[in-house]
A and B are shown apart, each in its own frame.
Chain A
Amino acid sequence: MKFLNKSIEEIHESLKNDEVTSQELVQESIQKSKELQEKCNAFVTIIEDAKGVSVTENLLSGIPYGVKDNYSTKDVLSTGSSNTLADYVPFFTATSVQHLKDAGAVMVNKTAMDEFGMGGTGTTAHTGVIRNPWDVTRMCAGSSSGSAAAVAYGVYPYALGSDTGDSIRKPAAYCGIVGYKPTYGLISRYGLFPFASSLDHCGVLTRSVRDAAIVVDTMKGQDKYDMTSWDSSSVHLFEATKKPLLGKKLCYIKELCDIKNFPDATDELKDHLANFFKTVELCKELGLEVEEVSIDQTLLNASASVYVVLSCAEATSNLSNLTGIIFGKRGEGNTWKEMMMDHRTKGFSPLIKRRFVIGSYVLQKENQERYFKNAARVRRLLVDTWKNLFQTYDAVILPVGIGPAKPLEGSKEMIGKMSEELQALDEHLQIGNFGGFPSITIPNGFVNGLPVGVNLTSNCKEDELLLNIAYHLESKMPYKGQTCEVKKNEL
């Protein structure tokens, strides 16, 4: 009997009715983890001695889940998928993980990721390439690659992710599941290894909008250890998914959705965009107005560079604590500088090192105005543009990426590989991080036999409205709860 491919509410029912015990669920989850590890290399750690717990009224109690390896977990290896922290065992637990633990949720593994969340391919983890369970020649995208693979494979109903550019929402699309990044500060970042603090968000990957709501309801809350967290005691996401449709108007952006804007479009992109407009029609069937809006192409094209400049700059500073002095393998050398250099050179993947150099360059005194400050200015322009849209629209709806999961072959990540227009489409989710907007990806079909996703993004602190709309849209489509083993449209 399999339970872990079901929804949280269904599993909870089964636990309550004694159809299964928490311990049995944990065993099933560990078994599935091992299978997936063989297949896709999705984990840094499988917690083989994880124990079931007694089941309470709490929906999450007794149910296994996974944690991205950049969350600090007391007494459990937490590497951020980096060699710099290959043996790091923290003495404290991230606030959001602690909330889940307090609710009775059982952590069964730590999922592999792009090193420290930097990267979107799932290929830079120190434990090796992470593969997409739908098609192991494809990537999961990143950086929450292992979490996405595990949820899509039915290892458990949810896994934690983090999202600095699109690190929850892109892998969710590539793996045919739901990825939700709430408003900045809804979930405490205390215990999340930082990549770019002003863009980093905690969030969750699930197989349904309602499951995402249930999990984030538990993870969230103001935290005295994170000054940027805020009081959300009046926010009830699960309840919001039970209400009739609250939204009225959506918009999509012409420059990102119109096939005419991509003269060299592949068939996958054409199908992807066509599929997107089918979803737009479903929205209309739901009773939502959906309008096309036009945004300055220059601004849209600038987004990717803004992201690179800001995220690299913050990252080079945030990861300066990784010197192998207090934690991490001690480097060799005759001076402290040589020791740190040895540690950092051996510990970081080439991608991160390149990003550091870029981040450092844009922060140099003589360059800061031209690069870093101007990027921060365009960030504001983009955010203001979106906030302006939210004056009229409840959410912006857009396709995720330029198609289904990309092949792993030839996936080396380089800034500036695509045309600007294409890149703008591939990376627009970053704007959700610029503004701290709540943003959710849900599966909306298949292209080339592989899942694709659609994204909804709302204004800050409108998480209830966003999840309400997403829930109703999801209910119009057959992909809710799908795993890579059971494509829901083939049922």
Chain B
Amino acid sequence: MNYKAVIGLEMHCELKSNSKVFSSAKNGYSEIPNEFVRPVDMAFPGSLPVVNKKCVKDALKMSLALNCTQPEYMYFDRKNYYYPDLPKGYQITQMESPVGINGKTIIELNGKEIPVYIHDIHLEEDAASLDHYYSTSCIDYNRAGVPLLELVTEPCLSSADEAVAFLEHMRSIYQFCDVSEGDTKKGQIRCDVNVSIMEEDDKEFGTRVEIKNVNSFGGVHDAIEYEIKRQSTLKREGRYNEVEQETRRWDEETQSTIHMRSKVDAVDYKYFVEPNIPKYKITKEWLEEIKKEIPELPLECKHKYMEKYGLSDYDASVIIKEKDYVDYYEECLSLGIDAKTGSNWLTTQILGEINHEEISLKDFYVTPKLLKQIVDATKEGTISSKQAKEIFLKSCTEKKEPKSYMSQENAQISDENELNQIVGSIMERSQTQIEQYKNGKTNLFDYFVGQVMKETRGKANPVLTKEIITKYLNS
């Protein structure tokens, strides 16, 4: 028997900005420890937090994009606890008056649209990072004070797939709104997961287990699956009372969740309002301004691509996966590249190539402008589709404009006089075949084309070649 799973997510995402959220140190990654530090990042006595306007703006942008309610007055709270990576002994976060509450977003999974309800979204600071050695740990404060946006869903998800779909959906919204790179590899997204199970017709939720610090979407998926299985087994065996309200962690190595602490040992964070940051009035005007900066979100783009441009569900889904893809595609469209042609190039050749090269589409040599050279030449028939692919690859590796390959020796023979001569000499030595053709063996047409291609090592412009051959045969 299967039980119904109830899943809630807490998603932490690092925001993009020049400076940190409460200090003017650079917000960036560095191999050099403690390179981006201002006094408040290491909690030197007398230092004070000063709120970065851009971070508040981006947080509000996400709040609006997720259809949340924004507070009239925004302020921050202190979450008090001791840990070596937390220099102040408290984290500045938002508890009582977060940038957004009661939101909702629609995700798509297997062609089905599912609403996900947002409990709240709030702005906070990241902790320092610890480098562990044999018997010591070293503290690097570059990350201390980096802006984090934490999003908390209601317990409204029901499977690992849904949870991952939601996370991917959120990541692309962050990217689309240009508030975060959303790079899990760089640890920019980190999740806590809540899982409980219940009978299909139960009214009340089961015992909630929290899994902390899951740092990849795959990990989220596996942790949820594992936890559902663990809890279900216990329930099935009549040992559900052994499921306790606890915090566990996901262990990549053993692919299992491990007990961290029970609810009775839960830390009381003694939240209270941060007195050093005055209440800040969020005006309607500002919200209106921010709203204008929110671009078309992924699902909107997808609908547009399918309905307006006739792309398949699959292709449209691939394109909206990353903001970079959509940007690339939209540029193709604006350059006049045919919607389907552009989509084909992007979803097959281009994505294949950037995955192969492990680069970002933004850094990809063949920009939409260069792609257009290839697309146009194919359309005009100056190159074959096979050549188009070859030129594309050459252009990628040699970083030269596609055009340059079209005019060189490798390029197609499109000169009518040259082709006339070649076709002429082939026809002269193929009298027998011409006879047979004229007697009705019309499939010999391809023989003539083949001969031309053989002669030109495939470089003859096929359209022009066919035209000239037809002329000869009909003369």
Chain B residues whose C-beta falls within 8 Å of the C-beta of A228 in the assembled complex: 275-276, 278
Per-position binary interface string of chain A over residues 117-158, scored 1 when its CB falls under 8 Å from any chain B CB and 0 otherwise = 000000000000000000000000000000000000000000
Separation of A308 and B84 alpha carbons in the complex (Å):
29
Q: Which residues of A (309-355) have their CB < 8 Å from a CB of B?
A: 313-314, 316-317, 319-323, 325-327, 336-337, 340
- Tell whether B80 is near chain A: CB-to-CB under 8 Å: yes
Mark the stretch among B60-68, B87-95, B249-257 that contacts chain A. Answer: B87-95
Q: Is the C-beta of A193 less than 8 angstroms from some C-beta in chain B?
A: yes
Would you call A363 an interface residue if the criterion is a C-beta within 8 Å of the partner chain's C-beta atoms?
yes
Beyond A360-B270, A372-B272, whether A190 also contacts B84 by CB under 8 A is no
Cβ contact of B39, chosen from A78, A92, A337, cutoff 8 A: A92
Residues of A within 8 A of B44 (CB): 72, 90-92, 326-327
> Within the complex, which residue of A92, A94, A197, A363 is in contact with B275, where a contact is CB–CB below 8 Å?
A197
Residue interface mask A194-231, B partner, CB < 8 A = 1: 10111000000000000000000000000011111000
Query: A317-B90, A317-B270, A320-B82 known; A72 and B45 CB under 8 Å?
Result: yes
Chain B 251-293 interface mask (CB, 8 Å, partner A; 1/0): 0000000000000000010111001111000000000000000
A317 touches B268 (CB 8 A): no
Which residues of chain A are near B84, meaning CB under 8 Å?
A: 325, 336
**Bound: A171/B89 CA distance, A:** 32
Contacts of B39 in A (CB 8 A): 92
A445 within 8 A of B: no
Distance, CA A459 to CA B88, complexed state (A)? 33
Interface core residue of A71, A85, A321, A336 (most chain B CB under 10 Å): A321
Give the complex CA separation of A224 and B139 in angstroms: 28
Within 313-371 of B, Cβ neighbours of A (below 8 Å) are at none
Set of chain B residues within 8 Å of A232, measured between Cβ atoms: none
B130 to chain A, nearest CB (A): 10
| Chain B residue contacts of A316, Cβ below 8 A | 80, 270
Q: Does A403 contact B (CB under 8 A)?
A: no
Q: List A270-316 residues whose CB lies under 8 Å from chain B.
A: 313-314, 316
Q: Mark B77-103, 1 if CB is under 8 A from A, else 0.
A: 010101010011110000000000000
Do B89 and A72 touch (CB < 8 A)? no
Chain A interface, DSSP helix/strand/loop, else mixed: loop
Docked complex Cα distance between A323 and B89 (Å): 9
State which of B47-55, B165-173, B233-241 sits at the interface with chain A. Answer: B47-55
Taking a contact as CB atoms under 8 Å apart, the answer to whether B276 and A325 are in contact is: no
- Residue numbers in B under 8 Å from A314 (CB-CB): 272, 275
List of A residues within 8 angstroms of B47 by Cβ: 190-191, 225
- The answer to whether A85 and B45 touch across the interface, beta carbons within 8 angstroms, is yes
A390: Cβ under 8 A from any B Cβ? no
Closest to B139 in A: A325
Report whether A189 and B80 are in contact in the complex, using a CB–CB cutoff of 8 Å.
no
Query: Is the pair A197, B276 in contact by a Cβ cutoff of 8 Å?
Result: yes
Q: Which of B15-64 contact A (CB under 8 A)?
A: 39, 42-51
Contact A194 B82 (CB under 8 A): no
Q: A326 is contacted by which of B42, B46, B48, B51 (Cβ under 8 Å)?
A: B42
- Which A residue's beta carbon lies closest to that of B43? A321
Cβ B46 vs Cβ A88 within 8 A: no
Asked if A481 CB lies within 8 Å of chain B CBs, one says no
Residues in B whose Cβ lies below 8 Å from that of A323: 82, 89
Interface band, chain B: 20 to 34
Bound form: Cα–Cα A313–B270 in Å: 9
Q: Are A198 and B275 in contact (CB under 8 A)?
A: yes
Chain A residues lying within 8 Å of B278, measured Cβ to Cβ, are 227-228
Interface residues contributed by chain A, number (CB under 8 Å): 45
How far does the Cβ of A475 sit from chain B's closest Cβ, in whole Å?
37
Q: Contact between B268 and A320 (Cβ–Cβ < 8 Å)?
A: no
* Chain B, residue nearest A196 (CB): B275
Assembled-state Cα–Cα distance A399/B268 (Å): 42
Interface contact A224-B88, CB-CB below 8 Å: no
**Which of A194, A336, A372 meets B46, CB within 8 Å?**
A194
Q: Which residues of A contact B271 (CB under 8 A)?
A: 363
Q: Is A365 an interface residue (CB 8 A)?
A: yes
* A340 contacts B82, C-beta separation under 8 Å: yes
Asked whether any CB of chain B lies closer than 8 Å to the CB of A192, the reply is yes
Q: Which residue of B46, B49, B50, B88 is within 8 Å of A320 (Cβ)?
A: B88
Q: Which chain A residues numbered 81 to 108 have a C-beta less than 8 Å away from chain B?
A: 85, 88, 90-92, 94
> What chain B residues lie within 8 Å of A225 (beta carbons)?
47-48, 50
Q: In the bound complex, how far is the Cα of B88 from the Cα of A198, in angstroms? A: 17
Q: Which of B46, B48, B80, B87 contacts A317 (CB 8 A)?
A: B80
- Chain A residue with minimal CB distance to B23? A225
CB-based contact B87/A364 at 8 Å: no
Residues on A with beta carbons closer than 8 Å to the beta carbon of B275: 196-198, 228, 314
Q: B270–A321 contact, CB under 8 A?
A: no
Contact string against A for B residues 172-197, beta-carbon threshold 8 Å, 1 for contact and 0 otherwise? 00000000000000000000000000
- Known contacts: A317-B89, A340-B82. The answer to whether A191 contacts B46 by CB under 8 A is yes
Given A198-B275, A227-B278, A336-B84, A189-B48 contact (CB < 8 Å): yes
Q: Does A66 contact B (CB under 8 A)?
A: no
A80 at the interface (CB under 8 A from B): yes
- Judge whether A90 and B270 touch: CB under 8 Å: no
Q: A197-B275, A227-B277 are in contact. Are A190 and B48 (CB under 8 A)?
A: yes
Write out the residue numbers on chain A whose beta carbons fall within 8 Å of the beta carbon of B139. Answer: 325
Task: Provide the residues of chain A in CB contact with B45, threshold 8 Å.
Answer: 72, 78, 80, 85, 88, 90, 193-194, 321-322, 327
A322 CA / B272 CA spacing, docked (Å) = 19
CA distance A444 to B278 in the complex (A): 37
Q: Which of these, A78, A227, A325, contacts B50 with CB under 8 Å?
A: A227
Other A-B contacts than A90-B44, A320-B82, 15 sampled, CB-CB below 8 A, are A196-B275, A198-B275, A224-B50, A226-B50, A317-B78, A317-B80, A317-B89, A317-B270, A320-B90, A321-B43, A322-B45, A327-B44, A337-B82, A363-B272, A368-B270
A residues at B contact (CB < 8 Å): 71-72, 78, 80, 85, 88, 90-92, 94, 189-194, 196-198, 224-228, 313-314, 316-317, 319-323, 325-327, 336-337, 340, 360, 363-365, 368, 372
Query: Which 10 A-B pairs rank lowest in CB-CB distance, beginning with the nearest?
Result: A320-B89, A198-B275, A363-B270, A321-B43, A191-B46, A197-B275, A72-B46, A193-B45, A336-B84, A321-B88
Contacts A/B (CB < 8 Å), 16 sampled = A78-B45, A88-B45, A90-B44, A90-B46, A92-B44, A189-B48, A193-B46, A194-B46, A225-B48, A228-B275, A228-B276, A316-B270, A317-B270, A364-B268, A364-B270, A372-B272
